[in-house]
Structure 1
Amino acid sequence: MNFGFDTSIFDGLTVAMLVAGLAITGVASGVLAGLLGVGGGIVIVPVLFWVLALFHFSPAVTSHLAVATSLAVIIPTSISSMRSHNKRGNVDRSLLNLWGPAIFVSALIGGIMSKFIPGAGLRLVFGVVGLLVAVNMAMPRNLVISDHLPRSGWINRAIAAVIGFVSSLMGIGGGTLSVPTLSSFSFPVHRAVGTSSALGLLIALPAVAGFIWSGLEVAGRPPLSLGYVSLPAVAVIAPISFLFAPLGARLAHALNPRYLKLAFAFFLAITAGRMLLS
């Protein structure tokens, strides 16, 4: 069975371990998407990058493949997580109307611009922002800038555009950036997580389209890739992530996620550091 990688020089056990690793990645990304509103991409991107490097794919395409494939996985995960949070009334439609268009357009621009950004540039973005996010998650309290969102529509659109653009280049769903941003403006945390799951869909859809276009003529991609999206990897990770996102949403309402955030911040700091060193 070919999962999108050149497995001809590996034995069946190695391939089975690869598939098992991708399945575990799906579980982790789904639970984290619902629990912390991080979209799962913060886990998927480094794992896929290292898997592709292990199978000796060109360094020129591994970062782009990891980011684009992560964004493709985020589409069903965001839908599942958004539905679960919406049932609990935690998706703020007025914020979606305010931030949505800017996030959508900026994510599309990010996907298209990936054609002109080298793999090292994508790893730099992931590493630097990942370290900042890890520090933020480890802090006992979120930085509070104001007790309400900016009243200016243009300022809100600018914030949304930055979140959409950076998230598309990192391969994340937006919650990693939008949840702490909203929290800094005293936005209720459960509504921030729930709304971020919907914002993740508005990031992933246009960004995936941009990455598909950017990678159509690029050599050295794995078999069964659509642009920079590895379809077999999506087929393994996406359904599992989709199934486990509601579990994360339930845990978000049943648990105090403080210790989980600390553990994840530690994991993210190590991951981001390794991406920078690579």
Structure 2
Amino acid sequence: MTATLQQTPAAGTLEGRRRPLEPVFKAILLASLAVAVIFLGILLAYVITEGWGRLDSRLWTNFPSKLYPERAGAQSAIIGTVYVVGLTAMFCVPIGVMTAIYLEEYADRDRWWNRMIELNIQNLAAVPSIVYGILGLGILARGFGLGRTLITAALTLSLLVLPVVIIAAREAIRAVPGSIRQGSLALGATQWQTIWRQVLPASVPGIATGTILALSRAIGEAAPLLLLGAVTHITFNPESVTDSYTVLPIQIFNWIKLPEAEFHTLASAAIVILLAILLVMNSLAIWLRNRYQQRW
């Protein structure tokens, strides 16, 4: 019989020096998480406390008013936010997912134009939102004659979040095991059938999570929409993509700059509504992720 000796890292080795630092590193991570959660809790407590008096049906059934804060609401801003985010998702999600499929499944990475596309997508994800507002104002609103309308805002925000959707979709598609593709192709499926019936369903959880995160950024943007001329005071709901509009961030900004304390209370209540919409969107992403994870 031969006895096997267990090797233990010597105190002077690199592995032996790293182990005592692991609890310290974990403590730093937990402290960072605690700071983020504490500040988020403080923010939520503040806006709920400040806006509690106006968290009633008047907020989502009445239109804004500059003269009577007790009657003012944010119905037009809420409807405009839903329309803008819905149109943004309609434009950016199909384009983003199809671009990710091309780059991951079809593109030849040795070609210089494919490398250029990947580099530009990564760079565009870091461009400030105000630059997209200038682009939307100069090209979409004035160049194509779309004006300062709902569709201009949706297209501008689609350009803003499209790089994030592409990157998230690529990572989700890349995470699908290659054995799934090889097995499907071995059984006689075409490449597109493999992508449509195997790769995409398996990558839906990651795509949904990344898409909701991107739309969450779009729903809170005010700078590009202010540059595009979104109306700060509007007393009707948009009925078509060529109508004027307003959104919750702009309505909150408009109420905050007014001197009356009642409008500040309205702004805090509108922030709660905006956070509730974000919570619903994230809950939808979690539901989609759990549903497809159970299948795969």
* Length-normalised TM-score, structure 2: 0.30
Structure with bigger gyration radius: 2
* Length-normalised TM-score, structure 1: 0.31
User: Which structure carries more relative contact order (alpha carbon 8 Å, separation 6+)?
Assistant: 1
